[in-house]
Amino acid sequence: MRLSRYFLPVLKETPSDAQIVSHRLMLRAGMIKQASSGIYSWLPLGYKVLNNIKRIVDEEQERAGHIPILMPTIQSADLWRESGRYDDFGDEMLRISDRHGHEMLYGPTNEEQLTDIFRSHVSSYKQLPLTLYQVQWKFRDERRPRFGIMRGREFYMKDGYNFDLTKEDALHAYNRHLVSYLRTYERMGLQAIPMRADSGAMGGDDTHEFLVLADTGESEVFYDSAVTELTFGDRDIDYGDVAQCQAVLEEFTSKYARTDETHDAALFEEVPEERRKVARGIEVGQIFYFGTKYSEKMGATVQGPDGKPTPVHMGSHGIGVSRLLGAIIEASHDDKGIIWPEGVTPFHCGIVNLKQGDDEADAACESLYAQLTHAGLEPLYDDRKERAGGKFATMDLIGLPWRITVGPRGLKNGVVELTSRKTGESEDLTPEAAVERVVGIYNL
């Protein structure tokens, strides 16, 4: 992409109404535009990152054997009356009526809708286990929408639902989700710690929230600092292996880590004092096992091995896809702007032409652009007739991990400059070597 042709409405001024750094940076970098309170348009740069996050979520869900579907955002109130949640959800639910007076709602989540699909099409235990998921917009009329997309009213969520014959099978599905989530967040450059939490409006006893530690987080968390030393890494997991998934769950949840909803002061006291931490965190996901709560109320039964109708055991599992943009920026920025982890960056590499209009510099940039594109990367070429300072400031603000700077002086010596956004370190390389390095980093 050439910046002269792109739509990147960066703001010079820091927006005064944005209270936290991720919200400020998203507005300044031209990623989002508020449409109304808690509702945002996703401008091209923001939309690109949103799609990258969705892609990682999809890849990891499919790796775990979960099947993508897509359900509508507008749902019928009748389904929610069956589960009893039409009233329970209260003012957070956006209620709508159509021209025929039918009561509808903009889905805050989809347990009922997927249970309805399940009961229409699945009748035998032989069709289990089954986990279906979607990435779809949700609406919750939050009392205090704030921090931009972090607590929006309209937001993008991955929601998955498992259907199993027994509690043991459903707990395996729970563990499988926990493992796949650990992988997912790490690929985005995040450490998200599973913490025992409260199940709230979803119901059930077993639930973990995934929290990214950040001072601006909305949740108060209590944990043993030893949990922050755990990493999932690139271990090979067989998602069908019950013992393996259980072992990962135990490894990541046996240390004390709880949100304030379930905090137990006496248990916390047992953690050695120097490892006892009280901090704040951003909730980027939550997994639930709620047994037969929905299947019993909504008649989602299968014929069991004994021929008898058996209500299925269920759980649901969510990732805050749009909230993750905010969480990633909170975790990775400096005073100049965003620092995208390579896994989610909107463009792989920036190209800055220090002397637009200079034949040699223009030709070198065009050649870099062509080579990077040919290798399967997406560069962003700042081909505007701007001062170098302005170009650097824009690149730093939008946070691409790598920048190649091209100027007549370097070209005289046959080199361009490759700079890491994270460390600020630069290196002079021939254009070919610079391309090779960047391509190698992304391992394409």
CB of 355 to ligand P5A, least distance (A): 44
Closer to ligand P5A by Cβ: residue 155 or 369: 155
Q: Report which of 208, 345, 195 is spatially closest to residue 277, judged by C-alpha positions.
A: 195
C-beta atoms surrounding 101 within 10 Å: 6
Instruction: Report the alpha-carbon distance of residue 48 to residue 7 in Å, rounded.
Output: 12
Given the complex with ligand P5A, which of 1 and 69 has the nearer CB atom?
A: 69
Interacting residues toward ligand P5A by CB under 6 A: 109, 140, 142, 151-152, 155, 157, 159, 202, 283-286, 288, 316-318, 320, 322-323
Min dist CB 100 to ligand P5A, Å, is: 29
Q: 286 vs 295, which CB is nearer to ligand P5A?
A: 286
CB of 126 to ligand P5A, least distance (A): 26
> What does each C-alpha distance from 155 to 76, 158, 272 come to in angstroms?
20, 10, 39
Distance of closest approach, residue 159 Cβ to ligand P5A, in angstroms? 4
Choice between 40 and 347, CB closer to ligand P5A: 40
Per residue in 1-29, is it b (16+ CB within 10 Å) or e — as a string? bebeebebeeeeeeeeebebbbbbbbbbb
Residue 39 near residue 94, CB atoms below 8 Å: no
- Alpha carbon distance 63, 236 (integer Å): 11
Closest to ligand P5A by CB, 286 or 394? 286
Element containing residue 417 per DSSP (H, E):
strand 416-420
Q: Kindly tell me which of 316 and 353 has the beta carbon lying closer to ligand P5A.
A: 316
383, two tokens:
């081909």
CB of 285 to ligand P5A, least distance (A): 5
Rounded distance, CA 137 to CA 115, Å? 19
CB atoms within 10 A of CB 287: 27
Q: State the nearest-atom distance from the C-beta of 140 to ligand P5A, in Å.
A: 5
Contact of 129 with 176, CB cutoff 8 Å: no
The structure tokens listed for 422 are 């994270």
Q: Are strands 349-353 and 402-406 parallel, antiparallel or unpaired?
A: parallel
Rg (CA), the chain: 24
Comparing CB distances to ligand P5A, the nearer of 197 and 406 is: 197
Looking at beta carbons only, is 140 or 421 nearer to ligand P5A? 140
Helices (H), 299-387: 321-331, 359-374
151 versus 176: smaller Cβ distance to ligand P5A: 151
Quote the least distance from Cβ 317 to ligand P5A, whole Å.
Answer: 6
Report the candidate in 205, 305, 213, 302 with the shortest Cα–Cα distance to residue 259. 213
What is the nearest approach in angstroms of ligand P5A to the Cβ of residue 309? 26
Residues 6+ apart with CB under 8 A from 47: none
CB 93 to ligand P5A: min, Å: 12
User: Toward ligand P5A, which CB reaches closer, 324 or 435?
Assistant: 324
Distance CA 128, CA 109 (A): 23
Residue nearest to ligand P5A (CB): 320
Question: Considering beta carbons, is residue 32 or 372 the nearer one to ligand P5A?
Answer: 32
> Cα–Cα distances in Å, from 222 out to 125, 186, 249, 281, 285?
41, 21, 19, 10, 17
Q: How far is the CB of 396 from ligand P5A (least distance, A)?
A: 27
What DSSP letter does each residue of 252-320 carry, written as one string? HHSS-EEETTT--HHHHHTS-GGGEEEEEEEEEEEEEEEETHHHHHHT-EEE-TTSSEEEPEEEEEEEE
**Smallest separation (angstroms) from ligand P5A to the CB of 318:** 3
